[in-house]
A and B are shown apart, each in its own frame.
Chain A
Amino acid sequence: MTVDGTTYERDVEARKLLIHFVRDDLDLTGSHIGCDTGNCGACSMIVDGTLVKSCMILAVQADGATIETVESLAAGDELSRLQQAFSDHHALQCGYCTPGMLMSATALLRANPSPSDDEIKKALQGNICRCTGYWNIFEAVRAAATDA
């Protein structure tokens, strides 16, 4: 599979979840494991253009897939517009949910560059922030959308 532009070839046990493959086998630890029950969204990635929770897909199911994680968003030290908006709007406190929030918002803005407020909220529904900093996250996504 190709992850963040690099192609990897590995043998993998069927029982291994995609999130574990990416974090443990490929050592790409930007994507987080929050709840491991499919609720929190910290493990969100874009697989072949589709936003998924990578704790609910087997690594073998992503054989040959093109995967984007949070680690693909910045160009070197240069933050993406969305990442910069998260920084400007204090859209993270502990930062644990941030990789998933960024991927959900990236998927939203790619499909819908000018989302309504309700569309932003709907798009982030699968991502839980236990600092409950939702308002600033919402503001950051709205700013990134408006700036686009």
Chain B
Amino acid sequence: MRALTWHGKHDVRVDTVDDPEILNPRDAIIKITSTAICGSDLHLYDGYIPTMKAGDILGHEFMGEVVEIGSGSTLKKGQRVVVPFTIACGSCYHCGKQQFSACDNGNPADNQDIAQEVYGHPMSGLFGYSHMTGGYAGGQAEYVRVPFSDVGPIVIPDGIDDDKVLFLSDILPTGWQAAEFAQIEPGDTVAVWGCGPVGLFAVQSAFLMGAERVIAIDHFPHRLELARKFGAETINFEESQTYEALMEMTGGIGPDACIDSVGLEAHGMFFDNIVDQIKASTFLGTDRTHSIRQAIIACRKGGRVSMPAVYGGFVDKFPLGAFMEKGLTLKTGQTHVQRYLPGLLNAIMEDKIDTTFLISHRMGLEDAPKGYEMFKNHQNEVTKVVLKPGQTFAA
């Protein structure tokens, strides 16, 4: 089959590799019909995530048709499914508590060592996202092997277009969980850092959960325009001072809840960010974290901070004093995708959540390297690239 493979920083290629096979009873093989490039794939593309190996197949947002099943799968050939990016067994203690991204068994035993050393505990496996999270082949390919196919994938009713449901695989539940973790109460003002796909879904989710106001922060005018369409007020941090603006817009109180959906590659020419960039390029520290610092400083006393953004390593200058003195609560984590799928599929079918607005570019699989390059360098216009294996598109 053809698959998008990682070979190093800013070097991804479409190669011919072996077709996947059923290896365990609960496996299924999916023929990919739609697969997206995620903002977090850019962290791999930019070489920020350790434990990648040349030839790794990327992609963790995908859906397709079931073409083969193991004896323990509950899927049927021909069904259309969306696959969660988190690989969870459904039978361990954490899955029982619906903490699917903390699954004990989704990550192969040998790969768990790395995360155990670095984080103290291994987390669930993830598709196409380095060997620390399992080394699983991803879905930017013609086919993919899906473990625990009786637990993860959600079957999509006929007649619903791929583009409406594809984002159930990651970014929609991630934005939803971000808003849920912000513990929004009716009348709340919620600030969202980053108007990428997760931030934009967090904006929609926050309103659905009863937020009175949402303030979206970014520097790409087109992305801020998308947030405004969903009813958010906006701050362009290149034109306005974010902290001062948030304080004035909330009558000096500060947002009740702050959501950081920017993560470890925060943009912007801030002093701490520049220091972080120098450190990142010299391996002195790995995460650039302006957005989470600002969220903690801006958040009202006793407020909540939710952090769906991906961080991988260590930071300094974390405003621990502000966090403690103001009595904030921080909730974070990889998304427990499986927990949210039925409810979010319903919300899509009832037109409560719009997903297709996000897709700016559709391409064939062979054009995937171009898709990465565009997504990386033109973030204002390129909000989401969806690859359609087996289809070709006019340039």
Chain B binds chain A: no
Interface residues of A (CB under 8 A from B): none
